[in-house]
Amino acid sequence: MKDLQLKIQIKECQMNELSEDEQYLLQKAIESTNNSYAPYSHFCVGAALLLENDVVQLGCNQENAAFPATLCAERSAIFAAGAQYPNVPIKMLAIAARDTTGQLTEEPVSPCGTCRQVMIETETRYQCPIRILLYGRKYIYVIDGIQNLMPLSFTKF
């Protein structure tokens, strides 16, 4: 038996270290937290993605008393983009969240496993990595491709 080490790469930065496009997308994700419907968790998540055609698609979490019917912000944005622009890859995805007090989270919030799997499928579908921006008041994570969040992934291949 041998031990394997998996290496992932995540950059930690401040808003002013990002490009104008990255800052804009994060701002849209922050704004999208206000559209969240979270009467059960009171945890409001917003997502904004930038498509190859420069269209920005927003998403936010939508909760439901029948919990499996709940949809995360990331998936709502990805699925809406897929429905409206089925042949256009996603370049970048920004995610922000407000905690139960209504404040933006101090540290970045990471996508759930289901959202990660959808992101893997999306990257595989378009053969294009997605740049991921995770917002926190203290710092922002910049991740180049979902493989850096989920190094052992399940794909159709």
Catalytic residues, which ones?
A: 74
**Per-residue three-class SS string for 77-136:** HHHHHHHHCCCCCEEEEEEEEECCCCCECCCCCCCCHHHHHHHHHHHHHHCCCCEEEECC
| Ordered DSSP codes for 7-59 | ----EEE-GGGS-HHHHHHHHHHHHHGGG-B-TTT--EEEEEEEETTS-EEEE
Write the CB contacts of 64 (distance below 8 Å, at least 6 apart in sequence): 70
Find residue 96's DSSP bridge partners.
Answer: 46
Partner residues linked to 19 by β-bridges: none
